[in-house]
Amino acid sequence: MEPPLLVAHLDQMRQWHATGATTEYSWRKQQLTVLKSALYSYEERLYEALYADLKKNKEEAWITEIGFTIAEINFALKHLQQWMAPQRVATNVINLPGKSYILREPMGVVLIIGPWNYPLQLLLAPLVGALAAGNCVVLKPSELAPDTARVLQQMIEEVFQGQYVKVVQGAGSDVIPGMMNLFRFDHVFYTGSTQVGKLVYEMAAKQLVPVTLELGGKSPCIIERDANIKVAAKRIAFIKFSNAGQMCVAPDYLLVHEDVKEAFIRELSKRIHDYYVADDYHSGKLISAQAFDRLVLYLQEGEIIFGGKINYEQKTISPTLLQNISPDAAIMKEEIFGPLLPVLTWTEEAEVYNTIQKNKNPLALYVFTGSAAKAKRWTTTIPFGGGCINNAGLHLTNHNLPFGGRGNSGIGAYHGKYSFHTFSHEKSILKTPTWFDPSFKYPSFKGKLNLFKRFIK
């Protein structure tokens, strides 16, 4: 769609939203129910598309994409009336006997920009929050996962009317500036790289458009000497090498206490072999030749202690563990986003802090330890978006927890009620009766200073 036609359509969405139809509970419930039904109807087509784009098997596609989104919808449907209800808050003394409450209203017409690594979930999970909050939504799926983008567009256009949910396809570098520079969205939600996130933020800032940025970062995983090695190895191997390591919350590097390094590497290597090497059913594929070439260069920056098999024809790299990496190596400065995992060691806590400080404010942090005191110290003294103690990645599956980063790893949060809040404006209301109207509230205030000090303190 040419920019003038697209802008005309966006203007129509704005006009339709202004009718107030989306403020009704019945409308919001219907849209969420329709989306849920559509995911079931398109389930097989989505499996095929996700396999074509990323070689995801059906089980992984259900857990991380389709089922994940349906669970998000179910949670929203269960709590939607409660979220929409006015929220009573306390009233300060000077405004008594008034009543105070918060109304949450839709932002308006919002833009959701999805990435390629979880091309369904990371586009539709924000959509759930946007519809629950009563917005009209423009969806921009990633062109790097074309099969999934095509099926999603078919599904959306079949079940939603274009005046309140529209899919826009095309190269993000062309389409997104074309929309944002010609039309003022009421909110922009972007998931992807920090580099592109900065560009989106800059475009939004020109028109004072609020944004949510779900970005990446180098998420560290700390292994204490008292960690349960077998459990840690299983949980790290499962998350890190799922989707060929192309996951924003995957551990980006390990910080293993020197005393348990050898035992941990043996156990981790065994688990990687069992999960992803002995049977490639759970092995995804790299998204592009460009990603493959970048990761091949990373392999040259350390000593391979497990894996490292390269297939240049198929553009694949087996799950790999690396050690003896220079702190100045590119693999330690950039988010890996692939099946490579550097293993660093430490003996003093200061070494851990110094390493993390070089890539501060990671999206996630993981700590494996048997000590509650150690877990508390690591999680309270290191700034990061969110994380786990004795687990990895699974904090994002809990709808009761906000998911988001800080600093270079993002702005804002979502999931569950936090998605609803992200796509809502909180409107403060004070309701004051007319039967109580004492004269001391009005001028002249001369001589009333002590009275004011009594009430305002």
DSSP codes, 321-369: EEES--TTSGGGTS---SSEEEEEEESSHHHHHHHHHTT-S-SEEEEE-
Q: Taking the alpha carbons of 60, 63, 68, 70 in that order, is the dihedral positive or negative?
A: positive
Whether pLDDT at 229 is above 70: yes
Give the rounded percent of residues in the chain with a pLDDT score beyond 70: 99
Whether pLDDT at 100 is above 90: yes
Give residues with Cβ within 8 angstroms of 172, minimum separation 6: 113, 140, 142, 143, 196
H or E element that contains 112: strand 109-113
Which pLDDT value is given to residue 1?
A: 65
Burial class (CB in 10 A: 0-12, 13-18, 19+), 82: exposed
Q: What is the mean pLDDT of residues 381-400?
A: 97
Which pLDDT value is given to residue 321?
A: 98
The closest alpha carbon to 405, from 381, 421, 387, belongs to 387
Does CATH place domain 3-215+411-429 in 3.40.605.10?
yes
Which pLDDT value is given to residue 39?
A: 98
**Residue 419 to residue 195: CA distance in whole angstroms:** 24
Whether pLDDT at 2 is above 70: no
Q: What is the mean pLDDT of residues 62-79?
A: 98
Which pLDDT value is given to residue 279?
A: 86
Average pLDDT value for the chain = 96
Whether pLDDT at 455 is above 90: no
Whether pLDDT at 456 is above 90: no
Question: Which tokens hold the place of 353?
Answer: 């802090």
Which is catalytic among the residues 136, 221, 248, 388? 248
Better-predicted residue by pLDDT, 3 or 456: 456
Whether pLDDT at 81 is above 80: yes
Whether pLDDT at 149 is above 70: yes
Confidence of residue 99 (pLDDT cuts 50, 70, 90): very high
Give long-range contacts, CB 8 A cutoff, 24+ apart: 226-230: 226/369, 226/370, 226/371, 226/374, 227/257, 227/260, 227/264, 227/368, 227/369, 227/370, 227/390, 228/368, 228/370, 228/390, 229/260, 229/263, 229/264, 229/267, 230/267
**Residue 168 to residue 198: CA distance in whole angstroms:** 21
pLDDT tens digits along 174-226: 999 999 999 999 999 999 999 999 999 999 999 999 999 999 889 999 999 99
Better-predicted residue by pLDDT, 70 or 93: 70
Which pLDDT value is given to residue 93?
A: 87
Which pLDDT value is given to residue 216?
A: 87
Whether pLDDT at 26 is above 80: yes
Q: What is the mean pLDDT of residues 414-419?
A: 98
Which is catalytic among the residues 214, 224, 267, 335? 214
Q: CATH for 220-397?
A: 3.40.309.10
Quick check: is 214 catalytic?
yes
For the chain, which residues make up each domain, given as ranges?
Answer: 3-215+411-429, 220-397
pLDDT tens digits along 279-338: 888 889 999 999 999 999 999 999 999 999 999 999 999 999 999 999 999 999 999 999
